[in-house]
Amino acid sequence: MKKNIQKKRYNPFPPSWVRWSVIAVWLSAALLLPMVSQAKDGGIENLRQTSKAFADVARQVSPAVVFIQIEKTVQQPEVQFFSPFGPGNPFGDELLRHFFGVPGPGKSPRAHPSPGQRVVGQGSGFIISRDGYILTNNHVVGDADKVTVKLLDGREFTAKTIGVDPHSDVAVIKIDAVDLPVLELGDSDAIEVGEWVVAIGNPFGLSHTLTVGVVSAKGRSSIGIADYENFIQTDAAINPGNSGGPLVDLDGKVVGMNTAIFSQSGGYMGIGFAIPINMAKSIKDQLIQTGSVVRGYLGIVIQDLTPELAKSFGMKDQKGIVVAQVSEDSPAEKAGMKQGDVIVEFDGKPVDQVGPFRNEVALKTPGSTEDITVLRNGERKVLSVTIGQLTDKEGDVAEGPHNLEKLGMTVQNLTPELAHQLGLEGKKGVVVTGVAQGSVAALANIKPGGMILEVNRQPIENTEELKKAMAEAPEDSPVLLLILEGEYARYVALQTE
């Protein structure tokens, strides 16, 4: 019997699921390729729009930015600059050389001005009124014999100095002109870290140079550039000659005035500082009205609250600033403020750093009344203080020496001879006569000549009282000393074990 064998027929077409898969791939490619192309075009278009935004800012702002040239006759046989940073000045001596021709390492001594020689410096500024008022830095025009202002359109004017404020490094000058282009002053408090900013000025004499960056940080203080600091930090390139020029946002509004750079070479290293325009506004208004600046005054010495000090004061939170000294008959004393108070609020705002607090007090109108909340022995107290007026003879809210957390020292009672020698007549305490190298006291920057006034908030008058107070101090807690150094006192927390 024959087997019934069925032959399978060859099908030249693949299964339907394969066909549909291929079709799906083709359709996906057909759809995605245009989308990729569109995404690429969209990204380029976004970059074009960003570029145009910077170009628009340049066109809008540049006419009101001015080039400032100053001339000054050197009276002293030698010009010297002393940096608050010592030999390692991070802002660079090149900035000083650029303005005043002071030679640096390896420079020809011929660059050093001789008595009676006229030196030329340069900087930037920006017009703030149609009748010619210009805002710039004090270090650009201060003490200049002649100030020349050049506009973008080529016009040149001799400027008059209206007023300067060395404490904030703000100055106002004026040219005799009308219908000038003006820059709108913005709100520096509103700008945020990470926002685009544009710096325009005359670095190295290169007129109307634009650089772009972001706001790197806000509220930079205790840098040592000026007495009152609250700088905006930016990575927009700032170089010598940019000083006094505007830092603007993408709307072309001024948010800061370029003032200094952090540099080890004298040139741009990615860190520049600008005075917030909100601070400059108050100062420029006073300079225009009176030619000088009046500042608020409390009459206290303050210092930041370190973790060691917070522990010594029995505080759980490290928030506030310590009152290390209260001047006699000062507004603060009249309001009931005491040494050892911790200020936590001023004018309804929290206080946690020395620099911003000093700025807030300085900007208050003398005669105005403000509330200050302090912690005293763990209790909150609200003091009503009438702001005084700062004069050159008075210490304002002064920042005491820096706190260091780390006793190897010799002491002795205050004799009449020592009191006269050290200018401590009428004082009570124990004099530091020696400090061992590498000791706890040395690490806390305690120096011979300082006088210990208190141990753990208890006044001491002689070495026996000091030894007793030290023996009674808890072993597991730092010892809190109040030390008078020169005119100012400061608290130091020392861990003896």
Listed residue (497, 468, 471, 469) closest to 481, CA to CA:
469
Annotation marks residue 251 as catalytic: no
* CB-based burial, 180-213: b 16+ in 10 Å, e otherwise: bbebebbebeebeeeebbbbbbbbeeebbbbbbb
**Cα 259 from Cα 246, distance rounded (Å):** 9
Q: Which residues contact 437 (CB under 8 A, 6 or more apart)?
A: none
The secondary structure of 160-217 as a DSSP string is EEEEEETTTTEEEEE-S-SS---PPB--TTT--TT-EEEEEE-GGG-TTEEEEEEEEE
Whole-number Å distance between alpha carbons of 127 and 67: 11
> Which residue of the set 124, 168, 243, 330 is catalytic?
243
Q: Is 98 a catalytic residue?
A: no
Catalytic residue among 93, 139, 165, 327: 139
Sequence-distant (6+) residues with CB within 8 A of 410 are 432, 433, 434, 435
CA distances from 494 to 98, 169, 388 (A): 45, 37, 35
- Which pair of structure tokens corresponds to residue 61? 């702002």
Cα(469)–Cα(461) distance, integer angstroms:
11
Share of the chain residues as helix, strand and coil, in percent rounded to the nearest 5: 25, 30, 45
Using alpha carbons, select from 296, 293, 295 the residue that is nearest to residue 172.
Answer: 293
For tokens 């000091």, the residue is 466
Active site residue 41: no
Asked if 453 contacts 414 with a C-beta cutoff of 8 angstroms, the reply is no
Q: Which of 445, 451, 442, 441 is nearest to 415 (CA)?
A: 451
Which member of 93, 169, 235, 396 is catalytic?
A: 169
Q: Are the C-beta atoms of 298 and 182 separated by less than 8 Å?
A: no
Which are the catalytic amino acids? 139, 169, 243
